[in-house]
Structure 1
Amino acid sequence: MTVTADWHITNAKVLDVFNQKFVETDLWVTGDNIVFLGTPIDGIATQTYVAQGQYLIPGSIDAHMHVESTTLAPTTLASVFMDRGITRAFIDPHEIASVAGAPAIQYMLDEAGRTPFHYHVMLPSSVPATNFERTGAALHAADLKPFYDHPDVGGLAEVMDYPAVANGDPDMMQKIADALAAHKTVDGHGAGLTSEQIADYRNVGIDTDHEAVNAQEAAERAALGMHILIREGTVEQDELAILPAINAQNQRQFSFATDDKTAVDIAENGGVDHSVRVAMNAGMAPELALTMATLNAAEAHHLTNVGALTAGYVADLVVVSDLKTLKPTRTLVSGEWIDEHEPVLPRPFATNLMNVSLVEANLVLPLKTGRAHVIDVKPFHIDTEHSIVDVPMNEAHEFVPNAEFAKITVAERYHDLGNGVGIIRGLGIREGAVGTTFSNDSHNVVIAGASDEAIVQAADALREIGGGMVVVDGQGGVTALPLEIGGLMTTASVETTVAKTRELHTKISQLCNVDFDVFQTLSFMALPVIPSLKITDQGLFDFDTWSFIGIDAE
């Protein structure tokens, strides 16, 4: 047999993901595909790469993530990921779509096509996520269907509106039907759901879930046929709790996802490459951990030619010298070495949706007795506790923040339609305020602070920069990171973004006595589809009763 190739990669230990072992062999690449594994009788290659005994592994895959959570533009993030041996990601542009609708999805697809990195854009299923918050856009089945003709669309993103599924909502059922008709994946979102409710998801064709938070949930859902995307993000760190659920029989039903990770976290720790290291440090064999990050993730989304190093598969591969660090020596994406590519600069997305005005009168929180419903933060988790406790108030029976309890507000930013006000414990804000327009899922303005004056100042600063992240210190000084792409992402470089974000964190550390990412935690306080007590622009929302409640607990 004669093999003619563009690249002959020799003297390598190649990961066989099907048998989970390394094999000393050669690899032959033509165009963007692997055409042969082994030593042919006659092989001719234009160029040869001698791996010098290093390991060859498939490019890692992030099975579910939101680019917007990184605050980086898609092209910027692509370069960061490829430098870490990540070559593919399934992304849900729910955040930017909630701000600007179908044009935002098209922007993400256009930007995805400008980089060698493989972005699979999952169409947002729930914009708005619920009718309990006001948002910048609404997407119906008819709005999404034309996008399935685009080759970079991977399916329907996390279906988070369980009641719509359980009740057979016609528009939701049509969204799912359109994805399945296009032979695409439908991702789930099973936060807090029972096995019976997960079965409702399975019955309509939903077959992945990234919301398992412990081994029991993961094992139960895997047994129901769900593919478990093990989440290890900046706030949501569920991996170590889930790993005990994996065994020899079900291991093909698990892969890795970051969901929501900051630029600083990725720069310091990595993306799904970090997930692989977490698994290996917990005792998992490197061969299995790498298979979960590659072949398993591809199979979860029904890709039959991705995630393995053998003939017929896309030539996405990483050369590494050390399996403990997984630091790439070189990375090949679709048959091209990325170190030979010039960086792709992001393009702007022209939209100005910061129509919000907030005054101190909007923040007054009257109390009857001083006993109130309080959002209790759970560090490193996106869910909260719903507490009923005594809180401080003044002689006028109005809530007064202190070192234990802060005031939190969510203000609708698209048409200046008002704000909700509540009480939050666990952020440790002693003075000033912290605010952002990155607030899942509708991305209204969310601010927590120690005084009404500081909260108003934070809102004014966010409006002035067109959206982003701000910290107001105790003396009224403002530190800000503008996120000019819809108030969610920046066109700045990763180096600039990381440096500015670290500056914000330093400022926060002077205001708050906590060891977790306050911005990331704050961004989930307005997400009513996650337990237990949250706040939207319309008020306090109780997940367990699926309804709004007042502040007073009598």
Structure 2
Amino acid sequence: HIESSLLTPLNYSKAVIRYGTTAVFADPHEIANVLGMEGFKLFFEEAKISPIRIFLEIPSSIPIEKELSTTRSRIDVEQIKELLEYSNIIGEVMDYNGLLSCDNNIINKIVVALKHDAIIDGHAPMLNLQDLCSYVSAGITSCHENDYPQDLLNKLRLGMYAMIREGSLSRNTELISKITLNDKRRLLLASDDLLPTDMIKRGHINYNIRRVIEEGIEPLEAIQMATLNIAERFGLSLHLGSVAPAKLADMIVLDDLKEFKPSMVFIDGRLLVKDDRVLFDQKFIYPDHVKNTVNVKRKIRKDDLKLDIDKDAFINVIEVTDSLITNHLIQEINDMQGLEKVVVIERHKASGNMAVGFVKGFGLESGAIASSISHDSHNIIGVGVRDEDLVLAINTVIDMQGGFTVTKNKKILAKLELPIAGLISEKEADTIAKELSYMLDIIKEELNCKHNSPLIALTFLALPVIPHLRITDKGLINVDQHKIIQLQKK
């Protein structure tokens, strides 16, 4: 997802090409959730002038779960038909609950895609084998949600392509050393959600290659997982994925097979990177109205965060981990040690929807963090120890029309503006990485946060299609049971 880099497609291209990435397959469902068809088309137009090849996938699940979260936009089956003129790849089918229950909305989208011979990408975290068989039988042929060895093996045995991720939070490469595979042709390398700080620190897909080699894969097989396998999966191996006669001249020159840092990068035979210097400079201008997408009924007040909970009651608590998976805890209200308050504010339709809950695992000792990125509906989300800091953090995000904020003792310690749809900036990667790095240092040093990736963890707390417990503007979501539950345990 390009949007997870906090960059526009052009600035993303300038960043990743330095690490040898010459083509990406991107599902722009983040910007499409906020801007709808316009968001997809803006990215498509910008991709046209990108030096790297950007293959956009059609967002399949907007809204992702219409009963469980409020979103601004909708892409229905008629719009899918229109977008099939732009792309023949359907982005990850995240509404697996809808698919497994034969919901007409998602079924009709898949039928249209199959009639157009489109490739359909998947999102199937921790499905049991029976449900996974049903999911695959719908024509979905790849998945990046592979967090456990058996899950990965099940998908490969059913003929799916399995993507191995090294993102800012989802890191699955170690799975390779836990299974035995003689044939690696259906293993693909992916970044999924990667912050610019991590990209600049370690690299892009070239880092994934280094990691799989560390896990025991031969270097040539590792390169194949980042090139030919991907081209074959998306039906482009006639032109891309290898260096051979009649293929497009997309090539990188490496000094060694250890760091995989290119000294030169060629696309279509043109030298575009030499000695870490990018040799192009295109521009794309976004319309002003896409920088004004935060629409709330009013700013929040401290009284909004008060909770009516019985004395000695037990409450449902979200526990964040070092992966996208959360745990569902039940804790006595009198035992608040290690808990932070989490708040979600609807920001698209000024409905006034708001939910308040508790989360464990950030390890904050003080202050608050807020964000207008909260997958996939992208309402405003905040986590904090003191209500006054939470209120300030969330209201500052509203004032900025999107971004990240960090507060403590009623003061703003750091902020990063993300004006385009409340998701991305027009600044280049080095600048955003510097601002983000400063913010992460503040979160660690001033708020004493114990989590390794607090911003990414915060932005995924509202995603109701990854187990086990989440929170949206409509309340706490039991993902396993696909329903809204009360904060107080009955």
Q: So what's the TM-score if we normalise by structure 1? A: 0.84
The correspondence for 2:225, drawn from 292, 295, 301, is: 292
Q: What's the offset of the Cα at 1:392?
A: 3.8
The correspondence for 2:23, drawn from 88, 91, 99, is: 88
Within a 5 Å distance, the mapping from 1:512-531 to structure 2 comes to 512-531=448-467
Q: Is the 8 A contact 1:347 1:491 kept in 2?
A: no
The CA distance in 1 between the partners of 2:406 and 2:132, in whole Å, is 40
The correspondence for 2:246, drawn from 312, 317, 331, is: 312
Q: Aligned with 1:123: secondary structure?
A: coil
The CA distance in 1 between the partners of 2:453 and 2:409, in whole Å, is 20
Going by fraction, where is strand more abundant, 1 or 2? 1
The CA distance in 2 between the partners of 1:327 and 1:289, in whole Å, is 15
Q: What's the offset of the Cα at 1:125?
A: 0.6
The CA distance in 1 between the partners of 2:180 and 2:265, in whole Å, is 29
Q: What's the offset of the Cα at 1:365?
A: 1.7
Q: Which runs of 5+ in 1 are unaligned?
A: 1-65, 394-401
After alignment, is 337-346 or 450-459 more displaced? 337-346
- Tell me, yes or no, if structure 1 residue 272 matches structure 2 residue 205: yes
Query: 1:238-277: CA deviations, max 9, x gaps?
Result: 11124433522x3111111111110101111112211110
Partner residue of 2:471? Answer: 535
The correspondence for 1:347, drawn from 278, 285, 297, is: 285
Q: What's the offset of the Cα at 1:406?
A: 0.5
Within a 5 Å distance, the mapping from 1:227-242 to structure 2 comes to 227-242=161-176
Aligned length: 477
Partner residue of 1:50? Answer: none
Partner residue of 2:187? Answer: 254
Q: Aligned with 2:247: secondary structure?
A: coil
Q: What's the offset of the Cα at 1:377?
A: 0.9
The correspondence for 1:117, drawn from 52, 60, 74, is: 52
Q: Residue 528 of structure 1 aligns to which amino acid in structure 2? A: P
The correspondence for 1:432, drawn from 367, 388, 398, is: 367
Q: What's the offset of the Cα at 1:154?
A: 4.3
The CA distance in 2 between the partners of 1:320 and 1:178, in whole Å, is 43
Partner residue of 1:383? Answer: 325
Q: Which runs of 5+ in 2 are unaligned?
A: none
- Tell me, yes or no, if structure 1 residue 332 matches structure 2 residue 266: yes
Larger Rg belongs to: 1
- Tell me, yes or no, if structure 1 residue 451 matches structure 2 residue 386: yes
Within a 5 Å distance, the mapping from 1:101-112 to structure 2 comes to 101-112=36-47
- Tell me, yes or no, if structure 1 residue 157 matches structure 2 residue 108: no
The correspondence for 2:314, drawn from 354, 371, 374, is: 371
The CA distance in 1 between the partners of 2:442 and 2:51, in whole Å, is 37
Partner residue of 1:18? Answer: none
Q: Residue 286 of structure 2 aligns to which amino acid in structure 1? A: P
Q: Is the 8 A contact 1:215 1:243 kept in 2?
A: no
Q: What's the offset of the Cα at 1:335?
A: 1.8
Q: What's the offset of the Cα at 1:452?
A: 1.4
Alpha-carbon distance change, 315 to 190 in structure 1, aligned in 2, over 3 angstroms: same
The correspondence for 2:417, drawn from 451, 471, 482, is: 482
Within a 5 Å distance, the mapping from 1:109-188 to structure 2 comes to 109-131=44-66, 132-150=68-86, 153-188=87-122
Q: Aligned with 1:259: secondary structure?
A: coil
Partner residue of 1:411? Answer: 345
The CA distance in 2 between the partners of 1:117 and 1:76, in whole Å, is 11
Within a 5 Å distance, the mapping from 1:197-212 to structure 2 comes to 197-212=131-146
Q: Is the 8 A contact 2:389 2:410 kept in 1?
A: no
Q: Is the 8 A contact 1:377 1:426 kept in 2?
A: yes
Q: What's the offset of the Cα at 1:403?
A: 5.9
The correspondence for 2:150, drawn from 202, 216, 224, is: 216
Q: Residue 285 of structure 2 aligns to which amino acid in structure 1? A: R
The CA distance in 2 between the partners of 1:182 and 1:306, in whole Å, is 22
Q: What's the offset of the Cα at 1:97?
A: 0.6
Q: Aligned with 2:227: secondary structure?
A: helix
**What is the alpha-carbon root mean square deviation over aligned residues?**
1.5
Q: Aligned with 1:115: secondary structure?
A: coil
Query: 1:40-65: CA deviations, max 9, x gaps?
Result: xxxxxxxxxxxxxxxxxxxxxxxxxx
The CA distance in 1 between the partners of 2:407 and 2:442, in whole Å, is 8
Q: What's the offset of the Cα at 1:512?
A: 3.1
Q: What's the offset of the Cα at 1:184?
A: 2.4
- Tell me, yes or no, if structure 1 residue 74 matches structure 2 residue 9: yes
Q: What's the offset of the Cα at 1:178?
A: 2.6
Q: Residue 348 of structure 1 aligns to which amino acid in structure 2? A: Y
Q: What's the offset of the Cα at 1:303?
A: 1.4
Alpha-carbon distance change, 144 to 115 in structure 1, aligned in 2, over 3 angstroms: same
How much identity, in percent, do the aligned residues show? 29
Q: Structure 1 segments of 4 or more deviating over 4 A?
A: none
Q: Aligned with 2:224: secondary structure?
A: helix
The CA distance in 2 between the partners of 1:246 and 1:362, in whole Å, is 53
The CA distance in 2 between the partners of 1:355 and 1:512, in whole Å, is 32
Q: What's the offset of the Cα at 1:137?
A: 0.5
Q: Is the 8 A contact 2:88 2:117 kept in 1?
A: no
Query: 1:354-403: CA deviations, max 9, x gaps?
Result: 12221222211221124211001112x1110100112348xxxxxxxx66
Q: What's the offset of the Cα at 1:111?
A: 0.9
Partner residue of 1:360? Answer: 302
